[in-house]
Amino acid sequence: MAEEFYSGVLGAAIGRVTDEWLDVLLWGHQITLQKRPSEVLSPEAQGKRHFGVVLPWPEWERLAERLRNAAVAFLEQPSVTLRGTPQEQAKFYLADPSHNVIEIKAYRDVTAVLGYPKE
């Protein structure tokens, strides 16, 4: 289930695969998915634990639209806040089949919000 979510829904490439884990390559990063179904916690037991990625604005827009069109369930719908300011940002939240929360963001001006990259 997790392999299909990361590859089919999010577009990750599948890397190394063993009986115990597999690697997915997503947005230039490696995520190792452990095959331990007995350790999967309910969303309530996990709390606010999540990981996130910052995408370029046009890529974030394309992904949000593709996921909407595919009727993917969002934990929090795509939205844009602080419009027209240097801190303008877009984000949405998803959960994978193991209930890991994924925050996907974009910033109009990453330097203004996060202070990097400095040129």
- Looking at the structure, tell me whether residues 32 and 45 fall in a common domain: no
- The pLDDT tens digits for 11-51 are 999 999 999 989 999 988 888 888 887 777 777 777 677 88
Q: What is the span of the domain harbouring residue 109?
A: 40-119
Return the ∠ at Cα 117 (arms to 116 and 119), rounded to 5°: 125
Domain of residue 57, CATH code: 3.10.180.10
Q: What are phi and psi of 49, to 5 degrees?
A: -55, 130
> Residue 49 has what pLDDT?
75
Q: How far is CA 69 from CA 9, 73, 83, in A?
A: 11, 11, 24
- Looking at the structure, tell me whether residues 11 and 29 fall in a common domain: yes
- Looking at the structure, tell me whether residues 19 and 44 fall in a common domain: no
- Looking at the structure, tell me whether residues 24 and 81 fall in a common domain: no
- Looking at the structure, tell me whether residues 26 and 48 fall in a common domain: no
- Looking at the structure, tell me whether residues 50 and 4 fall in a common domain: no
Return the ∠ at Cα 91 (arms to 52 and 40), rounded to 5°: 40
> Residue 117 has what pLDDT?
62
- The pLDDT tens digits for 68-117 are 999 999 999 999 999 999 899 999 999 888 888 899 999 998 888 877 76
Q: Are 15 and 23 in contact (CB under 8 A)?
A: yes
* Overall domain count for the chain: 2
